[in-house]
Amino acid sequence: MGLVGAGFVGPHHIDAVRRLGFVDVVAVAGSSEESALGKAAALGVRKGYGSYQALLDDPDVQVVHNATPNHLHYEVTSAALARGKHVVSDKPLAMTSAQAKRLVNEAQRAGVVAAVTFNYRGNPLVQEARVAVARGDIGAPHFLHGHYLQDWLLRETDYSWRLDPEKGGASSALGDIGSHWCDLAQHVTGLKITHVLGDIATVVQKRKKPSGSPEAFQAGTGDGELVDIRVEDLASVLVRFENGVRGCFSVGQVCGGHKNDLVLEVCGARASLRWRQEDQNELWIGHRDRANEVLQKDPSLLDERVRGYAHLPGGHQEAWADAFCNVMREIYTCNAAGQPYPALSPMVATFEDGFRANRIVDAILESAADGGAWTRV
Ligand SMILES: NC(=O)c1ccc[n+]([C@@H]2O[C@H](COP(=O)([O-])OP(=O)(O)OC[C@H]3O[C@@H](n4cnc5c(N)ncnc54)[C@H](O)[C@@H]3O)[C@@H](O)[C@H]2O)c1
């Protein structure tokens, strides 16, 4: 495995694949040789390269993990595919839908394993919810709702490359975290989002842009020039899924007290299910004619198809990094099985799923620009 971009999330890719026990972490590529060597030393990785091209030239690197800022996703992933390397791209797959579509085609031509890290799919209780919906436990879903709220961009002194359209893309909060909500809703129910109606806002319209590049979730220091912000930090979206199923969600990174507050609730003909990332060892099950339940993450209580994703007994909390590792295990198990590669586990988001996520965000932006018109994905 070789990692390009060892900022906030990159080291979690390394941590996750190391825990599999059969993956050799060969190299890290950074924005300069100095930074790459520093990151390699800090992460205990043998080689540090000052460019991603040098990492791609290394014959020992068979799987490339792309954890660079969004504006580099297309060029790094495309170059890796052209070398016949497997790719694990962090989300979004690309900065634009057109680029994402090209990557879908390039991956197909390359015939390699190509995955996107929509990592919340890897949580055992998310998988339990998915099985429960498919089994008909809650009846046919008719309403999906929830939110993904954070507070790390609340102040004008908070800054991230995500707020610069040249580096993050035309959308900020929707592309960054709204894409996770949409992917999760579609994954849990198997229903695709077909239409959206979006209302977007830029709450903090001017920010202090520091001279360095702060990592995600780091509070700003207040130095730097005041710049205009053109992308959204808050959005509310009405959603239509296939089969006439309705939904709505809000995203925002300016909501005090919400750290990584991803919530999905599915209401069906008989019952409801709710999963909240910040209480991720619990699945709420809502009934009309009897007391509501809270299913604790406990392998002995989970469906046998899901049990293997919980690695500790009940009462032993599992978290974000464990779910991330579950996704990596599915990707690398497929990869390790040899050519031709078996189909990826449904838990793993494909490049097609990544392209769909780009299209949904585009449709929400189009809808908002039209003053809140229903827009087809
Ligand atoms: N799946 C998730 O839950 C999740 C969480 C966080 C971030 N992400 C995604 O991961 C990506 C990275 O986000 P982050 O928060 O880690 O950002 P970050 O800014 O903390 O890290 C990006 C890293 O890439 C490096 N980099 C910049 N240019 C480079 C180049 N030319 N070659 C090699 N490295 C280069 C930077 O120096 C930095 O270390 C984004 O696309 C983001 O959407 C996903």
pLDDT (average), residues 23-34 = 97
Confidence of residue 336 (pLDDT cuts 50, 70, 90): confident
Max intra-chain CA distance, the chain: 63
Q: Whose CA is nearest to atom 18 of ligand 1?
A: 7
pLDDT tens for each residue of 170-212: 999 999 999 999 999 999 999 999 999 999 999 999 999 998 7
Residues, the chain: 377
Q: What is the pLDDT of residue 224?
A: 87
CA 65 to ligand 1 centroid distance, Å = 11
68 pocket-lining for ligand 1 (C-beta < 6 Å): yes
Q: Which of 90, 184, 262 to mutate to test the pocket of ligand 1 (most atoms within 8 A of CB)?
A: 90
CA 69 to ligand 1 centroid distance, Å = 4
Distance between CA atoms of residues 177 and 6, nearest Å = 20
Confidence of residue 244 (pLDDT cuts 50, 70, 90): very high
106 pocket-lining for ligand 1 (C-beta < 6 Å): no
Q: What is the pLDDT of residue 29?
A: 98
277 pocket-lining for ligand 1 (C-beta < 6 Å): no
- What is the Cα 25 distance to its own chain's centre? 22
Say what the alpha-carbon torsion angle 322, 328, 330, 331 is, to the nearest 10 degrees: 170
pLDDT (average), residues 69-92 = 98
Classified as helix, coil or strand, 232 is coil
CA 250 to ligand 1 centroid distance, Å = 24
253 pocket-lining for ligand 1 (C-beta < 6 Å): no
Confidence of residue 17 (pLDDT cuts 50, 70, 90): very high
- Give residues with Cβ within 8 angstroms of 330, minimum separation 6: 122, 344, 345, 347, 348
119 pocket-lining for ligand 1 (C-beta < 6 Å): yes
